[in-house]
Structure 1
Amino acid sequence: MIPLSRAFRSFCLHHRCLSSLMEVPFSKYEGAGNDFIVVDMTSRISTPLTSGQRLRMCNRKTGIGADGVLVLQQSELPGFTFKLLYYNADGQESSLCGNGSRCSLAFAEQIGLVDFDHAGSHVIKFEACDGSHLGGKMAGGQYFVDIRDVRISDVKRIDEMNYFLNTGSPHHVRFVEHLTQTDVPGIGKEIRWKTYGKEGSNVNFVQMSLQNPRQISVRTFERGVEDETLACGTGAVASAIAAYLRHQYDKKPIGCASSQDPMTTQVLMEGGTLEVAFKLQGNIFSDIRLRGPVRHVFEGNIVV
């Protein structure tokens, strides 16, 4: 047998690697600076992406760059427009993404899965990792998504400055006096593993407004990204609920969140402003709605 030359072996390996690559059409969206790669896999013949491919796509140096990947699939459930899968920038499947869900609605509109009317009266139902969600488009081009109910008994008050709750994703909420001076990546990395088992949690740093009790400023350290992101949807919801409860513990008036009158909190994040509305029915935060801007950045194809 004649041994293969080193050059020929290298050629074969290179050719084999090239033959295993595939070209993936994508769209890039951002919601208040939280950016995502969105891929349409509603066709049953679509080839699933691997964790390594998703990781390369999210790389800001050698890929497209994003906080995560959104994949739309066909839902097997009647009455659902699509099924949404969310993957962090590390390529791994994760829990609910609020801003990603809002961006997926805009993408579904772009590819013709839904035809939102501009009055915002048309609402669709989609499937996510934690079950059914409603979403839609509002006047002015903003998109909203409904978040599952949160029981007050499920909100852990660690101390007067720290809370923990799950709004589809686990969130540690820490109140601070000087948000701009807070070391979000450093402290966030420390807290991230302390309150939510082996998977860890996201960490939100919240500064209350002295002038407006219905306004908070938030910066978030996101797991899976392992760094600060410009916004976090489920983090905005968690922070708004924790802020409301903190006001109640301090016996400070903040407004009504009764079953008749929903309360809206304006959440100022590094990449933009989100709004969180909810009602308080007994000991349950219900009708939780996250709304805010969504922008189509660009689209193209990537070879991974």
Structure 2
Amino acid sequence: MQLHFTKMHGAGNDFIVIDGIHQDLSDMSRAQWRFLADRQFGIGADQILLIEKPTRPDAEFKYRIINHDGSEVEQCGNGSRCFVRFVREKNLTDKKQIKVEVAHTLLTLSEKDHGLVEVNMGAPILDLPIIPFNPKDLESNIVANTTNYLLPTPQGSFWITPVSMGNPHAVQVVDSVDEAPVLLTGPLIEHHPSFPARVNAGFMQIIDRQTIRLRVFERGSGETLSCGTGACAAVVAGILQGLLDSPVAVHTKGGELLIEWQYLTEGVGANVMMTGPAATVFEGKIDVPSL
């Protein structure tokens, strides 16, 4: 099967973007998705974005997110920005504000000037069973407006703040992201039994009250140069702990994201707004083997 694709990135988080509206991909296997994402034998990417027709009347498009390992996930912040650039560059829409269906929710995306895209990521999910996160037998500590949990691993124990942005995150504050053992402890946190659906492990270094540095070990992909939902989760965790004030500039290895969020005293959080770049790298076609 021959497949047409576009290679894109959002702050270094790279994607294969595929028009599934005009190409029939119903028979694609998990092994074939892994082949496409493989950096040695395929195209290479952190994740694959598959554009489809929506299933709900209030959306103009739907897209699915497939990890480097072929698994499917619920949400991707950097990918959502690439989606906007893709559908506009491909003349699939002429609108600058687009409503798109992802998993079981609806996102509002807006193209801005200078190649930037703003995404309304919705309200963060802090309800532990919905994240999902099981704190049974874990030591806990209330910090300002949230509760942190001590997560034991074979490489030590780490205080984390659980947050979901449509996908689960475990955010920890570190002294230095350069010295944090991301590649060593990231997989241990990702597969920790307290997170039954696995988790993205975030390592946040606070520079000042409106600036952080961040590294994220993503569920199913490993460490990426940037993670949009990870940036949102980190800022939410920092604001809940009284460490940050909105808006917050998030510096990742791949670039800068701006995250805005207000914690409401009634215990309900406003929607998280994320602004960042999205760029097309190249286009092509590839023969996908039967796997």
TM-score range, shorter chain: 0.7 to 0.9
Larger Rg: 1
Runs of 4+ in structure 1 deviating by more than 3 angstroms, as ranges, are 151-156, 195-198
Question: What amino acid does structure 1 have at the position aligned with 2:259?
Answer: V
Question: What amino acid does structure 2 have at the position aligned with 1:50?
Answer: S
Match of 2:62 in 1: 83
Match of 2:25 in 1: 47
Match of 1:36 in 2: 15
RMSD between aligned residues: 1.8
2:262 touches 2:269 (CA, 8 Å); kept in 1? yes
Post-superposition shift, 1:196?
A: 4.7
- DSSP-derived class of the 1:247 partner: coil
Stretches of structure 2 lacking an aligned partner (at least 5 in a row): 129-145, 151-157
Higher helix share: 1
Alpha-carbon distance in structure 2 between the residues aligned to 1:165 and 1:198: 14
Candidates 186, 189, 195, aligned match of 1:188? 186
Alpha-carbon distance in structure 1 between the residues aligned to 2:120 and 2:280: 21
Match of 2:232 in 1: 237
Match of 1:298 in 2: 282
Alpha-carbon distance in structure 2 between the residues aligned to 1:293 and 1:302: 27
TM-score normalised by L of structure 1: 0.81
Match of 2:100 in 1: 126
Over residues 236-281 of structure 1, what are the superposed CA-to-partner deviations in whole Å (9 max), with x where a residue is unaligned?
A: 0000011112226xxxxx54xxxxxxx2111000111111112233
Distance 1:34 1:133, change over 3 A: same
- DSSP-derived class of the 1:186 partner: helix
Alpha-carbon distance in structure 1 between the residues aligned to 2:125 and 2:185: 28
Match of 1:158 in 2: 149
Over residues 88-125 of structure 1, what are the superposed CA-to-partner deviations in whole Å (9 max), with x where a residue is unaligned?
A: 01112112111111111111111112224xxxxx4211
Alpha-carbon distance in structure 1 between the residues aligned to 2:280 and 2:125: 35
Alpha-carbon distance in structure 1 between the residues aligned to 2:16 and 2:223: 18
Candidates 280, 299, 304, aligned match of 2:263? 280
Post-superposition shift, 1:153?
A: 5.7
TM-score normalised by L of structure 2: 0.85
Range with bigger deviation, 179-188 or 56-65: 179-188
Over residues 162-217 of structure 1, what are the superposed CA-to-partner deviations in whole Å (9 max), with x where a residue is unaligned?
A: 211111110010111021011211111111122653331010001001xx311110
- DSSP-derived class of the 2:250 partner: strand
Over residues 6-41 of structure 1, what are the superposed CA-to-partner deviations in whole Å (9 max), with x where a residue is unaligned?
A: xxxxxxxxxxxxxxxx00000001000000000001
Stretches of structure 1 lacking an aligned partner (at least 5 in a row): 1-21, 117-121, 249-253, 256-262
Post-superposition shift, 1:283?
A: 1.3
Alpha-carbon distance in structure 1 between the residues aligned to 2:68 and 2:14: 10
Candidates 73, 76, 87, aligned match of 1:108? 87
